[in-house]
């Protein structure tokens, strides 16, 4: 099985043609599809709105071989082998179920519309950037799919006999089941489907519109609707799951919960039927326009190649030499995952749904982006985009500011124009400030400052980003007021935001604001308990929580004051003032011992965002930098692999992938807003980063590593533009202006 998987993960196109491998050839879309990584192997374009993904997380009565439903925040889990359709709107690497909707399912033989009965085992699975294929063993159907930004083409190769294609709008990951379907012609159907309630937020609901076109008219077609049984003699509803009722084609349209449509043909052996799907979050008309403009002048093979080439262009911004094939695979797959979200929202005509509003607006220049998982991505994804794809990052910041114009607040965890209010803090602030300080400044900084100042200073009862701001401003910390609130996690994020806001205020010569927000950011010291030498929850009267177990919260157990973690997972998360934290802990020796304990005693969680900066903190203690080099290389080899379980956990829309890409290149942004990169030993012999000359003076940054042999994981020397560097940090501006940084490695610390 392992050998088969490795074979399938290789780009077949390049090998068959004998070509040298390009960056896109190394991508293995199956990485992260197990171990709760929540990625998918479906067909998608860079920053694509549409993704065509095999849906295999349903229990199936008609085919019992699906034994593990798996992690339901994603439509695909590698171990599962029973497929019930291909969803066309999906999220990658998220931690809550949603989307996984608008499912197409080809079948053969007698018509069956109940997904619990029509599922099929599949084999011959292949995936490369922009393309996915498998064989449905039950039906002897070959499936293939590719995608543009807003549309897709699926190609099904049928056996001889009755062939069916099902459009299922009731099945999927979203909690919303309402939909509308309308037959437009013999080859076209249109409608919309409700999505939302991401992480169980009842207000984050919105429609997705679609148009589906078939390459040939069906012989039969119709609708279905799932019907609950009528009340029995005791006037109570049956607890059975209901049956599906078919409706004839003279119904022009159908609406309700759990509805779908079927289309049937008599096919010859090997006959192919193609299905085009256009998507919009504005209207059916826009979905049709997206489909017509993106798909009308190309066939399946041309589109497949175009999308692969588009991926290769994006991935080629970084070229690596040296390392193993697996090294290149995990590197480029991580880069691929980073470029899935945030994704484009506007239609080909520029229209998009306004933030928290019924208005439809038009994007005049650039792209409007959506899916901002900011609690995750502010730490490394956005600084990474600023370096490698600054044009994208600029559009993302502009999108965030437009969200403020439209809704009155910056986003926290935005999803297709709705605020989900997921996770902690005020994460838009460090994203915007970090972008500005890196020199990407073609956005309205006055408006940005107004928006950030509003969330930092507004009273809690009216503050959508800092609901506990009253306590925070009055006490300097957020007290524990409930047995299991997230008070400490909230405050630690506010401190990061305020420190960033202070830096921006100083840059803008707002000295009073600088002093105010800097003092607020230093409030983290309120939580430091000298008895334990750790961050500890605090009560409203200023006393520490008693009793206190620093390990409480492991494995997602409830923990007073901390969200999804323990005190160990948060104690070192004051990345803007690590030197101050060192003093609080009693000095460098005690700091290093306590930090090393985190790794040695299994207190570190690679899948928990506050932790991922921990291995780079040794760089703050002179003479102990070797520990960063040791731990980073150990974490890479332990958690990132060329296999489905090759991510340490939920990818969080590219955050864990961004940690890997940075770490393999040898530098990492410890704190957004801080322009210092912490250095470690690169994995590759040579890395060439193409810099955008619109934003940077140099057109490339080169990272060279000498004596990069197996076992040589420690740094002997570093030179920046041929000048010796006697520290293990380098500023962003120094790095991009130098154009070249060289490492020499050794095998001992």
- Three-point CA angle 11, 14, 20, nearest 5°: 120
pLDDT for residue 252: 86
- Kindly state the helix (H) or strand (E) to which residue 687 belongs, with its residue range: strand 686-690
pLDDT at 101 over 80: yes
pLDDT at 480 over 50: yes
pLDDT for residue 175: 87
- Mean pLDDT, the chain, rounded, equals 93
Which among 245, 243, 86, 266 has a CA at the least distance from the CA of 164?
Answer: 266
CB 51 within 8 A of CB 149: no
Q: What is the CA radius of gyration of the chain?
A: 26
Phi and psi at residue 290, to the nearest 5°: -60, -45
Which among 565, 526, 538 has a CA at the least distance from the CA of 481?
Answer: 538
Between 716 and 16, the higher pLDDT residue: 716
pLDDT for residue 713: 96
pLDDT at 234 over 50: no
pLDDT for residue 74: 87
CB 63 within 8 A of CB 138: yes
Which among 688, 686, 687, 743 has a CA at the least distance from the CA of 712?
Answer: 743
Give helix then strand counts, H and E, for the chain. Answer: 20, 36
Write the pLDDT tens digit of every residue in 305-357: 999 999 999 999 999 999 999 999 999 999 999 999 999 999 999 999 999 99
CB 564 within 8 A of CB 552: no
Q: Where are the domains of the chain?
A: 33-312, 358-461
Cα dist from 379 to 148, 201, 461, 611, whole Å: 29, 24, 28, 11
Average confidence (pLDDT) over 89-102: 95
Write the pLDDT tens digit of every residue in 558-578: 999 999 999 999 999 999 999
338-373 burial, b if ≥16 CB within 10 A, otherwise e?
bbbbbbbbbbbeebbbbbbeeeebebeeebbbbbbb
CB 198 within 8 A of CB 415: yes
pLDDT for residue 748: 94
Conformational region of residue 350, where left means phi above 0, alpha means psi within -120 to 50, and beta covers everything else:
left
Cα dist from 374 to 55, 410, 427, 740, whole Å: 27, 11, 6, 31
Band (pLDDT 50/70/90 cuts) for residue 231 is: low
pLDDT for residue 227: 85
CB 670 within 8 A of CB 379: no
Which among 409, 437, 574, 392 has a CA at the least distance from the CA of 492?
Answer: 574
Cα dist from 222 to 121, 160, 169, 254, 691, whole Å: 26, 22, 14, 10, 54
Write the pLDDT tens digit of every residue in 498-510: 999 999 999 999 9
Residue located via tokens 């160990």: 568
pLDDT for residue 58: 79
Write the pLDDT tens digit of every residue in 627-661: 999 999 999 999 999 999 999 999 999 999 999 99
User: Taking the chain, what is the end-to-end CA distance rounded to the nearest angstrom?
Assistant: 39
User: How far is Cα 274 from Cα 157, in angstroms, rounded to an integer?
Assistant: 9
Sign of the dihedral through C-alpha 308, 399, 655, 382: positive
CB 336 within 8 A of CB 646: no
Write the pLDDT tens digit of every residue in 441-450: 999 999 999 9
Q: What is the 3-state secondary structure (H, E, C) of 215-283?
A: CCCCCEEEEEEEECCCCCCCCCCCCCCCEEEEECCCCCEEEEECEEEEEEEEECCCCEEEEEEEEECCC
pLDDT for residue 4: 44
Phi and psi at residue 332, to the nearest 5°: -70, -30
What's the DSSP call for residue 659?
H
Which among 90, 284, 276 has a CA at the least distance from the CA of 191?
Answer: 284
Non-local CB neighbours of 4 within 8 Å, separated by 6+ positions: none
Average confidence (pLDDT) over 693-704: 97
Average confidence (pLDDT) over 696-716: 96
- Options 3.40.50.300, 1.20.1050.60, 3.30.70.1230, 3.40.50.1980; CATH of 358-461: 1.20.1050.60
Q: What is the percent of the chain with per-residue pLDDT over 70, rounded to a whole number? A: 94
pLDDT at 17 over 70: no
Query: 645 is written with which tokens?
Result: 């379980």
Average confidence (pLDDT) over 197-212: 92
Non-local CB neighbours of 557 within 8 Å, separated by 6+ positions: none
CB 262 within 8 A of CB 253: no
Phi and psi at residue 125, to the nearest 5°: -80, 130
| Prediction pTM value | 0.95
CB 342 within 8 A of CB 264: no
pLDDT for residue 72: 63
pLDDT for residue 723: 95
> In this structure, how many other beta carbons lie within 10 angstroms of the beta carbon of residue 243?
11
Fold of 33-312: Beta-galactosidase; Chain A, domain 5 (2.70.98)
Distance of CA 740 to the CA centre of its chain: 31
Alpha helix stretches (DSSP H) within 640-740: 655-665, 732-738
CB 281 within 8 A of CB 207: yes
Band (pLDDT 50/70/90 cuts) for residue 68 is: very low
Of the given ranges (32-36, 67-71, 138-142, 315-319), which has the lowest mean pLDDT? 67-71
Between 60 and 742, the higher pLDDT residue: 742
Residue located via tokens 């005190």: 567
CB 177 within 8 A of CB 194: yes
Between 53 and 228, the higher pLDDT residue: 53
> In this structure, how many other beta carbons lie within 10 angstroms of the beta carbon of residue 16?
8
């Amino acid at each position: 099985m392992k050998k088969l998987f490795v074979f399938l993960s290789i780009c077949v196109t390049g090998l068959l043609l004998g070509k040298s491998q390009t960056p896109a050839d190394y991508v293995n879309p199956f990485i992260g599809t197990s171990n709760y990584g929540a990625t998918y192997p479906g067909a998608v374009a860079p920053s694509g709105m549409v993704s065509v993904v095999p849906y295999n997380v349903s229990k199936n009565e008609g085919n019992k071989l699906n034994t593990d439903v798996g992690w339901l925040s994603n439509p695909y889990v590698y171990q599962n082998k029973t497929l019930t359709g291909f969803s066309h709107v999906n999220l990658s690497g998220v931690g809550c179920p949603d989307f996984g909707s608008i499912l197409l399912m080809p079948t053969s033989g007698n018509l069956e519309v109940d997904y619990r009965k029509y599922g099929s085992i599949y084999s011959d699975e292949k995936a490369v950037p922009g393309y996915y294929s498998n064989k449905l063993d039950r039906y002897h159907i070959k499936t293939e799919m590719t995608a543009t930004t807003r549309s897709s083409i699926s190609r099904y190769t049928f056996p001889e006999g009755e062939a069916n294609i099902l459009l299922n709008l009731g099945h999927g990951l979203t909690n919303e089941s309402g939909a509308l379907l309308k037959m437009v012609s013999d080859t076209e159907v249109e409608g919309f489907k409700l999505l939302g309630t991401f992480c169980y937020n009842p207000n984050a609901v919105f429609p997705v519109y679609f148009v589906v076109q078939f390459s040939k008219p069906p012989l039969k077609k119709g609708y279905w609707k799932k019907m609950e049984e009528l009340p029995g003699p005791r006037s109570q509803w049956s607890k059975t799951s209901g049956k599906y009722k078919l409706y004839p084609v003279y119904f022009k349209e159908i609406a309700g919960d759990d509805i779908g449509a079927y289309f049937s043909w008599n096919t010859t052996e090997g006959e192919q039927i193609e299905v085009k799907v256009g998507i919009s979050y504005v209207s059916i008309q826009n979905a049709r326009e997206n489909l017509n403009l993106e798909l009308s002048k190309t066939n399946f093979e041309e589109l497949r190649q175009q999308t692969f080439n588009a991926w290769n262009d994006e991935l080629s911004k970084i070229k690596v030499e040296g390392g193993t094939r697996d090294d290149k695979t995990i590197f480029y797959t991580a880069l691929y995952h980073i470029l899935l979200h945030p994704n484009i929202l506007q239609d080909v005509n520029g229209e998009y749904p306004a933030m928290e509003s019924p208005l439809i607006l038009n994007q005049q220049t650039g792209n409007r982006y959506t899916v901002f998982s900011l609690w995750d991505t502010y730490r490394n994804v956005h600084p990474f985009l600023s370096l490698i794809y600054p044009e994208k990052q600029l559009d993302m910041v502009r999108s965030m500011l437009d969200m403020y114009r439209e809704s009155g607040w910056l986003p926290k965890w935005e999803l297709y124009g709705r605020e989900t209010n997921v996770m902690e803090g005020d994460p838009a602030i460090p994203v915007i400030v970090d972008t500005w300080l890196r020199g990407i400044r073609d956005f309205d900084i006055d408006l940005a400052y107004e928006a950030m100042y509003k969330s930092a200073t507004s009273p809690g009862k009216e503050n959508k980003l800092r609901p506990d701001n009253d306590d925070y401003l009055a006490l300097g910390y957020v007290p524990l007021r409930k047995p299991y609130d997230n008070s400490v996690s909230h405050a630690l994020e506010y401190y990061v935001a305020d420190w960033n806001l202070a830096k921006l205020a100083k840059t803008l010569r707002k000295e009073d604001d600088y002093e105010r927000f800097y003092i607020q950011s230093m409030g983290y010291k309120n939580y430091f308990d000298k008895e334990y030498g750790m961050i500890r929850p605090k009560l409203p009267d200023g006393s520490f929580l008693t009793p206190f177990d620093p390990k409480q919260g492991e494995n997602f157990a409830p923990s007073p004051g901390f969200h999804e973690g323990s005190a160990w997972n948060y104690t070192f998360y004051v990345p803007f003032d690590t030197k101050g934290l060192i003093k609080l802990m009693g000095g460098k020796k005690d700091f290093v011992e306590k930090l090393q304990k985190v790794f040695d005693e299994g207190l570190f969680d690679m899948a928990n965002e506050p932790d991922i900066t921990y291995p780079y903190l040794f760089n703050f203690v002179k003479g102990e930098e070797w520990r960063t080099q040791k731990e980073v290389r150990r974490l890479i080899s332990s958690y990132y692999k060329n296999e489905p379980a090759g991510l340490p956990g939920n990818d969080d829309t590219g955050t864990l992938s961004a940690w890997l890409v940075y770490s393999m290149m040898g530098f990492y942004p410890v704190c957004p807003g801080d322009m210092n990169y912490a250095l470690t030993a690169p994995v590759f012999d040579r890395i060439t980063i193409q810099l955008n000359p619109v934003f940077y003076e140099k057109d490339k940054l080169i990272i060279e590593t000498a004596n990069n042999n197996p076992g040589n994981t420690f740094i002997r020397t570093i030179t920046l533009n041929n000048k010796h560097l006697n520290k293990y940090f380098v500023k962003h501006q120094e790095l991009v202006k130098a154009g070249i940084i060289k490492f020499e490695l050794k095998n001992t610390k």
